[in-house]
């Protein structure tokens, strides 16, 4: 299949390329930008006039709920939503059922994703067997089976010696450790940020120290072992400062933030809004500004969706008993593009944190429009206004606090490995 995307504004952060031109695809690869190669005749031409042409997005954290939680979502439903959102690569945390701690589970997920054919799904393997935080997993076998890194998902490893052994083992096999920074003792069954709002609502809070203490411990172990590590979903300004210092000192650490932590604070929980029950919790205005500053400075190098679809009943209980998480695939790009209007980040800067930077963290050769690259390409209408409602949602999980928000920017076409897998209103 030969495709030409004509007259679009091509944005490729990996190559610092921002120019209006044509892009040509053949056999699943990008073969030229500008003039078509000799003898190239497209089977299909997509008119991208007044639109952006970008690499497919790479999402560092998207729970697809399969295997084990198919009543919430499946790989087929969520990769379809991802394609509509311009996401062509998703990293799946290991907290499925069964847990991703054997090559067999990785093979199953990969098979289901290939059957769906809408997006690339890569797995993060479990750092400990069954995510129990006790016995380390067979990381080398998981890496050989295709894992892009190892993680213990949202289950903190309380024992520092176990964490040290994980890092030593991972460093030996050059595996990236994905860390969720939360001290379980300080969390103490909290369900939102500890502060004036939690006190007024009478809800148990999670102090900022639950994150910063865990970051401090893990940074000490990273320095001790030399492992390459990535901090997932930072929520506090102080944690950003700690990561910045570690990067200055030469540690191999990176970090990401969820798009919703760049827009929401504890105030959005003020009426017991269970749609804002997330983990790590939404913190205060100062923290939200600190996260944005971390993104601008480059300390935080990736924005992810932290997609966690739920069935409707999971959000109908009293706040602390509801499931945490947001269905967030379809708001990742428009919320990120909004940052270009609200900060001094350029479109290339924003897109780099959605494409090439997360691809580098995962060690994948995607997220670029370079000649010869895999043709994961999206076409975006940057002036398309739309309102979030149930009718516009493709994810099976409709749990979002952004219902009713007017957003700008929508994906009109998504090509995955050179195949058109989404066309708006098609």
Question: pLDDT tens, 184-205?
Answer: 999 999 999 999 999 999 999 9
Which of 347, 346, 368 is closest to 357 using CA atoms?
A: 368
Tell me how far CA of residue 178 lies from CA of 125, 149, 163, 218, in angstroms.
10, 7, 12, 11
- HSE-up of residue 131 (Cα within 13 Å, Cβ side): 20
**256 is annotated as an active-site residue:** no
Q: What is the pTM of this model?
A: 0.97
Give the pLDDT confidence score for residue 425 in this predicted structure: 78
Does residue 287 contact residue 235 with C-beta atoms inside 8 Å?
Answer: yes
- Ranges of the chain with pLDDT below 50: none
What is the CB-side half-sphere exposure of residue 276 using CA atoms within 13 A? 17
Compute the distance between CA of residue 318 and CA of residue 219 in angstroms, rounded to an integer. 36
How many Å apart are CA 264 and CA 303, to the nearest integer? Answer: 15
Instruction: Provide the token pair at 296.
Output: 């601008």
Give 213's DSSP letter: H
Determine contact, residues 133/152, Cβ cutoff 8 Å: yes
State residue 392's pLDDT score: 81
User: HSE-up of 7 (CA within 13 Å, CB side)?
Assistant: 7
Q: Where are the alpha helices (DSSP H) in 265-391?
A: 285-297, 332-342, 347-352, 356-362
The whole-number pLDDT of residue 391 equals 79
In angstroms, the CA 21 to CA 371 distance is 14
Query: DSSP readout, 24-69?
Result: EEETTEEEEESSPPTT---SEEEE-TTSEEEEPEEES-B---TTT-
The structure tokens listed for 393 are 């949602």
Q: How far is CA 364 from CA 32, 142, 292, 343, 360, in A?
A: 21, 16, 26, 29, 6
Helices 237-248/209-225 angle, 10° precision: 10
Whether the Cβ atoms of residue 123 and residue 146 lie closer than 8 Å to each other? yes
Query: Active-site residue among 12, 22, 306, 376?
Result: 306
Pick from 230, 322, 316: nearest CA to 278:
322
Q: How far apart are CA 337 and CA 333, in angstroms?
A: 6
d(CA 402, CA 172): 43
Helix, strand and coil content of the chain, in percent to the nearest 5, comes to: 35, 25, 40
């Amino acid at each position: 299949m030969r495709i030409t995307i004509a007259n679009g504004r091509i944005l490729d952060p990996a190559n610092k390329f921002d120019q209006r031109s044509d892009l040509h695809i053949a056999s699943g690869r990008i073969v030229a930008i500008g003039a078509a190669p000799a003898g190239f005749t497209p089977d299909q031409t997509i008119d991208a006039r007044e639109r952006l042409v970008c690499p497919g997005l790479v999402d560092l954290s998207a729970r697809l709920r399969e295997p084990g939680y198919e009543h919430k979502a499946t790989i087929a439903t969520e990769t379809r939503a991802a394609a509509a959102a311009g996401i062509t690569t998703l990293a799946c945390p290991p907290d499925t059922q069964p847990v991703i701690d054997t090559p067999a589970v990785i093979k199953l997920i990969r098979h289901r994703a290939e059957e769906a054919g809408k997006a690339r799904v890569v797995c993060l393997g479990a750092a400990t067997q069954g995510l129990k935080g006790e016995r380390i997993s067979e990381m080398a076998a998981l890496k050989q089976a295709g894992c892009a890194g190892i993680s213990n998902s949202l289950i903190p490893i309380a024992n520092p010696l176990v964490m040290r052994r994980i890092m030593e083992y991972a460093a030996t096999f050059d595996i990236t450790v994905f860390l969720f920074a939360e001290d379980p003792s300080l969390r103490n069954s909290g369900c939102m940020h500890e502060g004036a709002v939690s006190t007024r609502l009478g809800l148990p809070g999670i102090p900022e120290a639950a994150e910063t203490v865990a970051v401090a411990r893990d940074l000490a172990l990273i320095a001790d072992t030399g492992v390459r590590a990535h901090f997932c979903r930072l929520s506090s300004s102080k944690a950003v400062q700690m990561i910045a210092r570690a990067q200055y000192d030469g540690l191999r650490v990176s970090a990401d933030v969820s798009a919703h932590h760049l827009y929401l604070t504890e105030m959005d929980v003020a009426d017991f809004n269970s749609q804002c029950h997330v983990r790590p919790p939404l913190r205060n205005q100062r923290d939200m500004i600190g996260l944005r500053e971390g993104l601008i400075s480059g300390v935080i190098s990736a924005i992810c969706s932290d997609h966690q679809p739920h069935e409707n009943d999971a959000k109908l209980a009293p706040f602390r008993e509801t499931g945490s998480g947001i269905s967030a695939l379809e708001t990742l790009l428009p919320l990120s593009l909004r940052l270009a209007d609200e900060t001094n980040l350029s479109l290339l800067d924003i897109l780099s944190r959605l494409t090439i930077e997360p691809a580098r963290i995962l060690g994948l050769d995607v997220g670029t429009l370079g000649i010869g690259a895999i043709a994961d390409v999206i076409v975006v209408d940057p002036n398309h206004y739309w309102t979030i409602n149930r009718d516009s949602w493709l994810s099976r999980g409709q749990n979002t606090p952004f219902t009713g928000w007017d957003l700008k920017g929508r994906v009109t076409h998504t090509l995955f490995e050179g195949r058109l897998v989404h066309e708006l209103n098609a």
